[in-house]
Structure 1
């Protein structure tokens, strides 16, 4: 199987799912009928309830739900072969994950932007709500811990004999520096749009230009060679502050600007797959390895391991918390719900398929040192395999690592804010 053929077929299937099944869901649920004002307008408070334009909210929502899941999930599930992962991503995304995300967002909007816990209380009982919140809160602790560890590892310097090896830590230090500059740009963007009322188009152009400038600075000036442990503490302090600040100051603008990094990553990946279009080597990455697979953790069975491992690439309960926790409070109008929730999920499916293509080439080129190296190394190697673009492989690797870190950091912000909501609701 050729990676270009695989990607093209999956894109067509996902697009058809969005157009036809998504349209059917809108009609079945009555989304947008009657021009009912959303909670972002009826309950606007300038902190959590703030109406956002569709592109801005799409940036927040997609950045928050993507996280590391659609990358690490397919990489972990790849032990069963690329075919079962592909089938589950397509079927799960269109008929389960997309419906789940869209339904959670719409239900929350029709319940004054309340979370799933409050919706359960209104339709079942207070006891059911409390049980759900306890379970979700404990789950969010795990999510925050996992994403914090991932981000810290992408920032953390490499130590040898107790001394920082700056040569081996250059990429990590660059990613950390760019991320710090990125936060500053997002704050300025938020004040420009919501307090100075600068036009969205002009602000976006300047914001994206500032991101490019941040990357140029970060790749050439990166003085922070902190250990992973130190970064864990700094990240903990950051998310604590970010979880209580008004969404327009940091969450909305940072996620919106982050989305351009994510879109750029998708474009780079597609260019790499189209330009290099490597075949999937059946010896290195079989289509199907069997119902049971032996690895370092013992025998793994396709059911249920495949479905729990792919997670965000097909369906994830975390998405319902995002949809009902932050996205519903910023939805400008109901008609935006389909492209943001259903479309966002299917876009995540595209990322999962791209990850499978990256795995195939990463195994050929020797990039097997963890999920970050597999994904970034595989895509960057494809870019380097295109005649005339060999010189871009290293810079593309750094860009992809930065984007991967941005995925995790945006999810970390949102997860911490969601945990605050649940603590307040209990």
Structure 2
């Protein structure tokens, strides 16, 4: 099938979903353009900063998009491109975008409270503690994995027989690292210009593009040649400053510049498909089982999280975006719009991978995002936690809790919550089935004597603990939902 047709159909469906279903949700829940948002109520120049709607959109999109929707769609294509496409479109429109928009909406209506505090209010302190514990542990893993991966990418040296020497890609790697450093520096300059000169509209866009191009040009001309250790230290320095600097100084301008690059990447991929309109060489459907990954249910839905539905998006919606929305009317494009654009990115990634595959359907190898995937998976496996289990844990803990919290919020404020139950039930089934299958497989392997206690035994213990944690979350959440009184918080 022609990849251009796939992209065009997906784009039309996603735009229609935004215009029809997204606006229906906004009308159903209620948007008040005259309401005073948390950004205006608690403006402090740090976290609560009234910001132009498109700038907040840029922050939301660049924070949720990236390697996730690309790697997930490509990895899951072993089941065929049709199941991946259907899940991205259905999941993105009815699950992911609803969750992201709902988390943003609930946070804005609750003085900008983050998801942890919303969970405490509507589910209870136990739910909040479990949520924060998981987020803290997973964040440590992600930071360590990303720091190691980034430093390895920018490293200019190779070691052979104990001797370090410049690699063939030293200049390229150094240029990529230098561009990243300059990107941060120019983002801060961009932020200062926006703050002091109050640029909006075309002035803001032109300034951001100039800063983006400048970082790319200077970085390519003057690359920094350094080893992995140096880049590791620089990465952690950046992480520290990104965590403590005001939103307007680094994160918002950085995300705006990142969005320009994402749009360029999307436009480039779309243009390539438009000009070349290559065929989709990946098979449409390969079956319900894959020897490497397992059964399509639940693996497909676990693998394609970003691009379809990811509970971690709620951390962005409620953690930062809700504190910068200046007008409630911007919530639709920020919460719902950013997610459907991410779904389009996943579709593009699937089509590009399909075009790059061999005529016999053999997938292409050696892409940067595949290197990213193996790096993260390898890091998890160092701790005895297979990436499969980590993905289940991530989806379960954040998506069970975020969706149930939104259900309770909608109930007590007298708003419709029926649209939240399908994603809630399906995500519970997906993650529950994944953990059950993994546990049964480990038990069989140990019983057959084909496993070791140090590896599979540790994984079995972790899987059982995750099941107990999952049941605790479900029971605690259901109890909180049925105990809540309808309309008890209705204004």
**Residues 200-257 of structure 1: per-residue CA shift (max 9 Å, x gap):** 5334313312321321222232123322x44233212211122011111111111111
State the match for 1:372 in structure 2: 369
Aligned to 2:176, what secondary structure does the other structure show?
helix
**Residues 349-401 of structure 1: per-residue CA shift (max 9 Å, x gap):** 010001111212332398511443799xxxxxxxxxxxxxxxxxxxxxxxxxx
Structure 2 residue 209 is the aligned partner of structure 1 residue 212: no
Structure 2 residue 105 is the aligned partner of structure 1 residue 106: yes
State the match for 2:67 in structure 1: 68
Q: CA deviation at 1:16?
A: 1.2
State the match for 2:58 in structure 1: 59
Higher relative contact order (CA 8 A, sep 6+): 1
State the match for 1:249 in structure 2: 249
In the alignment of these two chains, the number of paired residues is 367
State the match for 2:290 in structure 1: 293
Aligned to 2:284, what secondary structure does the other structure show?
coil
Contact 1:7 1:353 in 2 (8 A): yes
Aligned to 1:159, what secondary structure does the other structure show?
strand
State the match for 1:403 in structure 2: none
State the match for 2:259 in structure 1: 259
State the match for 2:153 in structure 1: 154
Provide structure 1 residue ranges, at least 5 long, that are not aligned to the other structure. Answer: 376-426
| Distance in 2 (alpha carbons) for counterparts of 1:241 and 1:206 | 23
**Residues 250-281 of structure 1: per-residue CA shift (max 9 Å, x gap):** 11111111111111111111001111111122
State the match for 1:189 in structure 2: 190
Contact 2:208 2:257 in 1 (8 A): yes
| Structure 2 counterpart of 1:306, from 300, 303, 308 | 300
State the match for 1:325 in structure 2: 319
**Residues 99-124 of structure 1: per-residue CA shift (max 9 Å, x gap):** 00000000000010011111122223
Aligned to 2:248, what secondary structure does the other structure show?
coil
Q: Tell me the TM-score normalised to structure 1 length.
A: 0.81
| Structure 2 counterpart of 1:354, from 348, 355, 361 | 348
Structure 2 residue 91 is the aligned partner of structure 1 residue 97: no
Q: 1:117 to 1:223 in 2, by over 3 A?
A: closer
Q: 1:153 to 1:301 in 2, by over 3 A?
A: farther
Provide structure 2 residue ranges, at least 5 long, that are not aligned to the other structure. Answer: 373-491
Aligned to 2:323, what secondary structure does the other structure show?
coil
Contact 1:38 1:332 in 2 (8 A): yes
State the match for 1:180 in structure 2: 181
Q: Which one has a bigger Cα radius of gyration?
A: 2
Q: Tell me the TM-score normalised to structure 2 length.
A: 0.71
| Distance in 2 (alpha carbons) for counterparts of 1:253 and 1:9 | 33
Q: CA deviation at 1:330?
A: 0.6
Q: CA deviation at 1:157?
A: 2.8
